[in-house]
Structure 1
């Protein structure tokens, strides 16, 4: 068991030396990685054999032997983790180098999708401007309608006053005057209803175009 333990411990030291070689420029890292992996597999196999042999040593030294084997397992696990991390970093560096090379050698051409997006944006902007212009025209028309209705209200109010004066002068009955006032009131409601409907239509158009 002692011979196997010492040979396994020697392999672990060799693995550590291989890691130092990976830091040297110009070294074939793939070959060194393969060598490290082979040695790690050998150490793991030796540790499995040592686990069996440790139960064959005298009981007085068994605990000490088991601690030595556990130390070998601990060391080889750390070395295996270090190799995995190194391989990941190397692969990342190679991928970044490949991407840089592709970017340097790529010929940039006009992107048709970008052109389509720009055309769509211009078309959408034109449509929005037309919609805003249409809303402004409708607001102007609505304002003119409201002013016209307001003028008609003033005219009706003046007509009512004149009719009342004429009725008083001609001696019309109270019933006739009330009928005239009711007609004027109905006309006023019609005017307000027209104003309300016009405002609702303008508001609906603005909501749909917004």
Structure 2
């Protein structure tokens, strides 16, 4: 269980460090860090479940109580971290919304109520007809949202890849345990077969000895008669 405890402790410390970085500047923190925090929280939950299962199999009461106490502390820290993470995400969304609103209002052009020469509209329209229509500029807010969505998709992919890597390592560990158990079982089978052969040999010697003794008794009785 010490390995499970150290692994959970490492994940908990990583989450605290990432949350501190996120809290320093929520509005400028990338979605990559958010995805990393989310993935680590999910991985910590799985680690605590494994730790809890191992603690329930512990036969020494003191070690089991100590493990359960550590698990409760880890779960409380994970819950606090998740609450702080959600709060920081809300602060980031609010900050980005305020920035986008300010930029949108700042780009709005100023229109005059009455033109200086109202009779010049026909001339200006004829001139503008000969000019090409300018390209429509893409709003910065749209680009920002698109970039954020792409980053979110990438981080989700990284989280899934991390989960698959972790599952691969677990499968490798399980495979090694199965091989070890198979090797141990193979040695046991050979030992059992060796014992069975020795038992058969001992039976042959035993019954053979009985036959020889009976024959000797018969010969002795026959000679003395």
Instruction: Give the TM-score taking structure 2 as reference length.
Output: 0.45
Greater RCO structure (CA 8 Å; 6+ sep): 2
Q: Whose helix fraction is larger, Structure 1's or Structure 2's?
A: 1
Radius of gyration: which is bigger?
1
